[in-house]
Chain A
Amino acid sequence: AAPADAAGQLRAFVKDVRSASGSFTQVTTGAQGAGGGQQQAGSFAFQRPGKFRWAVEQPYEQLVVSDGQQLYQYDPDLAQVSVRAAEAAIGNAPAQVLFGSGSIDASFKLEPLSARDDLAWLRAVPLTSEAGFSHMDIGFADGLPMRIELLDAFGQTTRIEFTTILPNPDLPAGAFEFAPPPGTDVVRM
């Protein structure tokens, strides 16, 4: 039978769900800080190993795409894209844990949490303080991640809700490619 505990569901998800796509909402709140509680919304997709796309679409656009070799961080308002090696940590822990295929245990300690809102929860605690946040709670249902609550080092919480998540979809060709529009500053790091 499918694992009931969150850690079991996470490991099965990383092993069995080779690709997925969907939409998310994201809001950062808490001890007065960046974001100020404003909600963002967007879409995501990933294909193991190494390819993922995280696109904020409202109220502004911001795109992070990894094609497995390069990681692109593009902001159309700022007309700049920075290009790094795919392994470079870019402060996107949820993508690293959920969409990657590297061993989670190399970077996080997983602790079970009590069930809440019909979800099975776990807490991923980074093994080093260089991760830049305190911990990330992930809530699962039916083997799929549904919600993430990331507590940063300044007491702010970023809540991400996967409003839709479709395992093993047929992804459009070039879903994980990025071509900077003309006039974009391309900075290779």
Chain B
Amino acid sequence: CAAPPAVAPVDEAAVSAGAIARSGRFALRSDEYSGKQHAVQGGFAWRDDGRALTLDLSSPMGAIIARVEVAPDGRAVLTEANGTVTEADTAEALVERVLGSPFPVQGLRYWLRGGLAPSPAAQVQERDAQGRPQAFAQAGWQVRVTDYDALGPVRMELQRDEPGRGRIQGRLVITPPAP
């Protein structure tokens, strides 16, 4: 069979050192086995300088409803629009509090750059012509990237099955920068 496409080298140091700023919209949906449905839609702004991360979640009107700040050591602080401040060891736990369903913050720090997190090991199922991951599973999430630009994915679908709880599906669309 044909040799697999040349894999674009993902230089971990470059990936983590470089700053990335992306904004767009997300939709999260959880379907619990109990039949309960829950959905969240909104805008997000993602600013990661490789050490600290700031994730803003905003309402359709553009007003920020919650801000998650992740320090280089991983500790996360959530500030909600009503002034409530909460801290936790991981961003995942905090964002789940705001959105009501899990959200792979740590994984996204790599996925949004077109890379994969160093751990846990990822299973890459498909790569695009440039060797970038197009379908892969990591940290319990099945991820499909349907569109890339020079910086990384611009359209992603994520899915996670939580045994005994239900299925979470997410879609992210990056808004193209102003021309």
Docked-complex contact B43 and A35, CB < 8 angstroms: yes
Interface residues of A (CB under 8 A from B): 26, 28, 32-39, 54, 56, 59-60, 62, 64, 73, 75, 77-80, 82, 90-94, 129-130, 132-133, 150, 152-154, 156, 158, 185, 187-189
Supply 27 A–B pairs (Cβ within 8 Å), ascending by A.
A28-B62, A33-B64, A34-B43, A35-B58, A37-B178, A59-B176, A59-B178, A73-B60, A75-B173, A77-B173, A78-B27, A78-B41, A80-B27, A80-B29, A82-B40, A90-B60, A91-B61, A92-B61, A129-B82, A150-B61, A150-B63, A152-B64, A156-B62, A156-B64, A158-B62, A187-B29, A189-B37
A58 to B155, CA, bound (A): 18
Given A28-B62, A80-B171, A153-B82: 18 more A-B contacts, CB < 8 Å: A28-B63, A34-B23, A35-B62, A60-B25, A60-B175, A73-B60, A75-B27, A78-B171, A82-B39, A91-B65, A132-B59, A150-B61, A152-B63, A154-B67, A158-B61, A158-B62, A187-B38, A189-B39
Taking CB atoms, residues of chain B closer than 8 Å to A92 are 59-61
Docked-complex contact B61 and A93, CB < 8 angstroms: yes
A80 to B169, CA, bound (A): 11
